[in-house]
A and B are shown apart, each in its own frame.
Chain A
């Protein structure tokens, strides 16, 4: 293996010039990951521009020893820092430069030490450090470098290799630490950017220059498997993002702590870094004027940038839409309950509109989902008799082609979804799916909300009642008695599969007990129990 005992200023500059080019190739991929702190989709680009400024400054370094070069690069990142991740990157460089101060060259040991100091400095710049971000990746990478040195592997390449490996793992783990990443099914963009930079530096140092020419860094896969990225649309209004405000403040005897405290009340995602003469500030605020007013009282403002993040977010959504695998047909399904939403997503629904019995979604809700899905041909599964007409309204409100497969229950919807033929065209699929739903029997079991008389049945409040294909046909004290009664009305000889979706106030053990009963009575049937999480119905049962 190639061994390098020490590196100097020229090496440092070249490594990161190469790493910056390496990052450039992946910048767009990284932009697409961006969900934290706001999904504005420019993290990769911001880190790239920050690094470019750093490399530019490095070439102006008065001397080529590592101390001078690192200091120039730190200055470059501070002056050119863009966005949250750019500012944190500048902080990382500041830590590196401090650690490398007065050094001509460094060995692996000193590199590890510098990485550690960089990590500590990165945390210091933030008023409220969040784990599962670039910070975590920097910290864990630095700690791996320390361990590598402790093992006696002091050469620069082996230290950097350990750093890159740890950064890789750390990035993959970010969704475990940050729920917003987990929900989006992505890794942290800033962390990914840092990994890519470190990887680029390592590749260059190892001499893999040719590889760097022809390939690009990969986006690390989340360690949590994500089958699809469904669009979950809720009726709630989205929170406003405000303005991303960035600038450089120059003055004399600036007090960073005081500045930080003062700005904290004015917005979110605050970063204040620098020294007493130059400070870089990044803040998401609803009132940038207020911030500007305060800052100009302390010194002069430079490189001011105020961007509307709602616009950025919209651009990001447009970009996301463009990047989603282009499907020529997509399915929008209406279901209630997390379990059912997961089932439908896993079977290929592109968007879920929450809704069902007693909570019918509006035409607008369904229309929104239809518009959000990256396809021009949409099949809608209403999965409830009362929602079918609502879904049918959508066609006149959109330019997209719409087919409503009039599924009246969740089991019908699942059967229709499964019948989707990946090679058939839009109209044929709508036909196939409509046919598929007709072979399904649906039983729904719930408890009566009041005493009444219906279909000649006397029902007492809280008694179990059962519907077969929408008709109330059985009442009893126990849920499973009602189920047995309804199953007895169906010709089960022709059935093959029974699926029991249990609701959010029914426990799994109870559902399993019910299924065991059915298996014993009908040994030829395949019986499956699935958590539906639906409100209202204790059981929704599909017989096919």
Chain B
């Protein structure tokens, strides 16, 4: 039986893509005051940024309740006897805990494994996509899990920010604290290291950050998967894809947007590329 793959909404696997690939996405929740929305399900990225710009309320987020995972497990347990759950870094969210605690509730012989991706956004999304591909081609849960374990350190989400204000406010700034509070306008570039947000560099203009993202991808010898995503600036992201088409086929690039829950921490004008580096020969 085919292994079923579950992830959470911070993977930035859009509903369309999830449906197309047969991946189950468990949503986190984003809240404006007392209004709560399931990430991507009840609120789109565009709606989120409209509200963020027009309201004074600072949004908050909540990990999925274990019951959402229980529902997903129970549904998939009828279709398969093996489920692999790959979720956002435990340093950033308690989603891993929710997924894990839901495991004990589900009875029956379906085997469920939960993995911490140590990543987020399409850095997580690309890992999930590869896991799904392997599952579709008939690999067992153990085989997929072992392959994913090798890929986790090879997944590089690189994000260029307008400001780290939101990340700092949301308490997820991690080691990028060193980049906070600059007295010059700079665009910080961050990545994930060992599950934590980590600084790469700072650039002075939007153009320079596009150059940086391009050069980052160009500097990787062999690419297994590539994704480009935006928050509020689709044109910039498209331009980046266009530019990258000289080194990676455009039709193979996963194009996504940051989810409202991620948007809470990254703010507007963010641009990200995620590269899953292929294993050396």
- Number of contacts between A and B (CB, 8 Å)? 53
Rounded to whole Å, the gap between the CB of B168 and the closest CB of chain A is 10
A225 touches B178 (CB 8 A): no
Which residues of chain B (168-219) have a CB below 8 Å from chain A?
Answer: 178-186, 198-205, 207-208
Residues from chain A with a CB closer than 8 A to the CB of B198 are 422-423
The distance in angstroms between the C-alpha atoms of A419 and B200, with both chains bound, is: 10
A343 touches B184 (CB 8 A): yes
Chain B residue nearest to A432 in the complex (CB):
B201
Rounded to whole Å, the gap between the CB of A286 and the closest CB of chain B is 41
Given A496-B207, A496-B208, A497-B205, the answer on whether A347 and B200 have CB atoms closer than 8 Å is no
Which of A227, A339, A528 has the most chain B CB atoms inside 10 A of its CB? A227
Q: Please tell me the size bucket of the interface on A.
A: 20 to 34
A423 touches B200 (CB 8 A): yes
Chain A residue nearest to B182 in the complex (CB):
A346
A421 touches B204 (CB 8 A): no
Chain B residue nearest to A339 in the complex (CB):
B183
Chain A residue nearest to B193 in the complex (CB):
A423
The distance in angstroms between the C-alpha atoms of A418 and B209, with both chains bound, is: 13
Rounded to whole Å, the gap between the CB of A142 and the closest CB of chain B is 33
Does residue A28 face the partner (Cβ distance < 8 Å to B)?
Answer: no
Chain A residue nearest to B180 in the complex (CB):
A227
Given A347-B182, A528-B184, the answer on whether A418 and B203 have CB atoms closer than 8 Å is yes
The distance in angstroms between the C-alpha atoms of A420 and B202, with both chains bound, is: 8
From B184, B199, B204, A496 is in contact (CB under 8 Å) with B204
Residues from chain B with a CB closer than 8 A to the CB of A342 are 183
B204 touches A422 (CB 8 A): no
Chain B residue nearest to A346 in the complex (CB):
B183
Residues from chain A with a CB closer than 8 A to the CB of B181 are 225, 227, 346
Instruction: Write the A226-237 contact mask toward B (1 if CB under 8 angstroms, else 0).
Output: 011000000000
Rounded to whole Å, the gap between the CB of A431 and the closest CB of chain B is 14
A530 touches B183 (CB 8 A): yes
Which residues of chain B (140-166) have a CB below 8 Å from chain A?
Answer: none
From B180, B183, B184, B201, A419 is in contact (CB under 8 Å) with B201
Residues from chain A with a CB closer than 8 A to the CB of B207 are 496
Does residue A17 face the partner (Cβ distance < 8 Å to B)?
Answer: no
B184 touches A421 (CB 8 A): no
Which residues of chain A (505-531) have a CB below 8 Å from chain B?
Answer: 526, 528, 530
Residues from chain B with a CB closer than 8 A to the CB of A496 are 204-205, 207-208
A497 touches B204 (CB 8 A): yes
Rounded to whole Å, the gap between the CB of A437 and the closest CB of chain B is 13
Rounded to whole Å, the gap between the CB of A124 and the closest CB of chain B is 42
Residues from chain B with a CB closer than 8 A to the CB of A106 are none
B180 touches A528 (CB 8 A): no
Given A348-B178, A422-B178, the answer on whether A544 and B184 have CB atoms closer than 8 Å is no
Which residues of chain A (408-438) have a CB below 8 Å from chain B?
Answer: 414, 418-423
The distance in angstroms between the C-alpha atoms of A381 and B187, with both chains bound, is: 22
The distance in angstroms between the C-alpha atoms of A421 and B219, with both chains bound, is: 15
Does residue A308 face the partner (Cβ distance < 8 Å to B)?
Answer: no
Rounded to whole Å, the gap between the CB of A528 and the closest CB of chain B is 6
Does residue A499 face the partner (Cβ distance < 8 Å to B)?
Answer: yes
Which of B179, B186, B201 has the most chain A CB atoms inside 10 A of its CB? B201
The distance in angstroms between the C-alpha atoms of A422 and B193, with both chains bound, is: 12
B205 touches A526 (CB 8 A): yes
Residues from chain B with a CB closer than 8 A to the CB of A528 are 184-185
The distance in angstroms between the C-alpha atoms of A496 and B205, with both chains bound, is: 7
The distance in angstroms between the C-alpha atoms of A350 and B202, with both chains bound, is: 17
A347 touches B184 (CB 8 A): yes
Instruction: Write the A397-414 contact mask toward B (1 if CB under 8 angstroms, else 0).
Output: 000000000000000001
What are 18 A-B contacts defined by CB distance under 8 Å?
A343-B183, A346-B183, A347-B183, A347-B184, A414-B184, A418-B186, A418-B201, A418-B202, A418-B204, A419-B201, A420-B201, A421-B201, A422-B200, A423-B198, A496-B204, A499-B184, A526-B205, A528-B185
Pairs A-B, 7 closest by C-beta atoms? A227-B181, A496-B205, A422-B199, A346-B183, A343-B183, A497-B204, A346-B182
Extra A-B contacts (16), CB below 8 Å, given A343-B183, A422-B199, A528-B184: A225-B181, A227-B180, A347-B182, A347-B183, A414-B184, A418-B203, A418-B204, A423-B200, A496-B204, A496-B208, A497-B204, A497-B205, A499-B184, A526-B185, A526-B204, A528-B185
